[in-house]
Amino acid sequence: MSANPVIENLSHHDPFSSWLGVKVISAEPGYSKITMPVREEMMNGFGIAHGGVTFSLADTAFGYASNGEGIITVALDTSISFSLPVYAGDLLTATARQLSNSRKTGVYLVEITNQHAQTVAIFKGTCYKTGKPHRTNTTGE
């Protein structure tokens, strides 16, 4: 469970990440680690996980790592390289870490592994800091 109130609030109001089944293992400014079990309904027409599912997990980890400072930060540009196929029943882990940080932008690497510790995809993302603070609701959650 994330101890960061910004990310805790974000992750509790994120319908698509909920559908994905994302579980936050750790989230702090510049870093996050999340997991997702891969389900049958995430498959594509080849019987392997749709690339969009793996991307979505990576993008979620990116968002949780880059928003931890309390400033609303949005994805500007991302790329993902697919290394190995993902199957229903796999448990994916995405680990995001900050590689650079300037006044308006940041660059993150997200490595996605399966339950055999094999790297299935690698994601690089550039975010833009809007400058607007998060409204965190830390009461009544």
Question: What stretches of the chain show up as alpha helix (H) in DSSP?
Answer: 5-12, 15-20, 51-66
Q: Please name the residue ranges forming H helices in 74-116.
A: none
Q: Of 71-130, which residues contact its own copies (CB under 8 A)? A: 72, 74-85, 99-100, 102, 104-105, 107, 109, 111, 119, 122, 124, 126, 128
Based on CB atoms, which residue is closest to its own copies, 60 or 93?
Answer: 60
Whether 98 and 105 have beta carbons less than 8 Å apart is answered as no
**Contact between 43 and its own copies (CB under 8 A)?**
yes
The answer to whether 12 and 1 have CB atoms below 8 angstroms apart is no
Q: Which of 59, 62, 66 is nearest to 29 (CA)?
A: 66
Taking CB under 8 A as the criterion, the residue among 16, 70, 89, 141 binding its own copies is 16
Amino acid, single-letter form, for residue 95: T
Residues that bind its own copies (CB under 8 A): 9-17, 19-20, 40-46, 49-53, 55-57, 59-60, 63, 72, 74-85, 99-100, 102, 104-105, 107, 109, 111, 119, 122, 124, 126, 128
